[in-house]
Amino acid sequence: MIVVITGASRGIGFAIAKEFAKNGHHLCITSHNPVKLYKAMEFLQTNYGHEIHAKAFDLSVKENAVAYGNWCLNYGSPDIVINNAGIFKEGSIAEENEGAMEELMNTNFYSAFYLTQTLLPSMVEKKSGHIFNICSIASLDAYPNGGLYGISKFALYGFSKNLREELKLHSIKVTSVLTGAVMTDSWEGFDNKEKRIMEAEDIAHIVYAASQLSIAACVEDIVLRPQLGDL
């Protein structure tokens, strides 16, 4: 089984890569930082010994998202696609820093849009596959000083919902993963010794579980929040 994962060098993406690698799947992974990416690849190969392919791309650029998709197709049509690449920036609509909205949309939404568009013909042809879009609880509700980020995640969730409708008859599943606070770089410096927020492995476990259901079942939305609620 071939699994394509973006933003795979750290955080949620790396946790998901570990989960699939340890269960024997072949991976095509990317991130924008080549040093961190190849360290991740080395870890996966050393610990799990499976076929891991890695190449760095800045997916916020349309041409790079398309190029990554075509590179992945060299190894076969993907069985699972994890659209995880993304960035977080605080900011309100009224006080947007120049270019911030474009950066968030390009990274959080268009990267997934153009990569998926590139991979879909091969998946439709074989009439199988599963696409996971890593959204956010910001895709569901607005919150203070999160306007720009929220808009980009609303867009990703809307894309995911429409993709689900389009691909039903092609036997391709689509799952939106809407997460609350997760202990990643966005929370660097946060003392999580009391497990106030989730671990990246929590997301990886549930994504892998959803990928293992029979062809008759599709988990459309996964909403995960810290046990004590949002911060």
Q: Specify burial of residue 189 (Cβ count, 10 A radius: 0-12, 13-18, 19+).
A: exposed
**Architecture field, domain 2-224:** 3-Layer(aba) Sandwich (3.40)
Q: Cite the DSSP H helix spans in 49-187.
A: 62-73, 100-105, 111-126, 147-167
Q: Is the pTM of this model over 0.75?
A: yes
Cβ count near 212 (within 10 Å) = 9
Task: Write the pLDDT tens digit of every residue in 138-169.
Answer: 899 888 877 899 999 999 999 999 999 999 99
Instruction: With H, G, I as helix, E, B as strand and everything else as coil, classify residue 27.
Output: strand
Is 188's pLDDT higher than 80?
no
Q: What is the CA radius of gyration of the chain?
A: 17
Please name the amino acid found at residue 138: A
- For the chain, the farthest-separated pair of C-alpha atoms sits apart, in whole angstroms, at 50
Q: How far apart are CA 170 and CA 157, in angstroms?
A: 20
Question: Under a CB-based contact definition with an 8 Å cutoff, are residues 95 and 136 in contact?
Answer: no
pLDDT score for 30: 98
In 3D space, the residue among 69, 170, 53 whose CA is nearest the CA of residue 111 turns out to be 69
101-131 pLDDT per residue, tens: 999 999 999 999 999 999 999 999 999 999 9
C-alpha 70: how far from its chain's center?
A: 18
- Mean pLDDT for 26-54 is 95
Residue 230 in this model has a pLDDT that exceeds 90: no
Give the phi and the psi of residue 218 in degrees, each rounded to 5. Answer: -135, 120
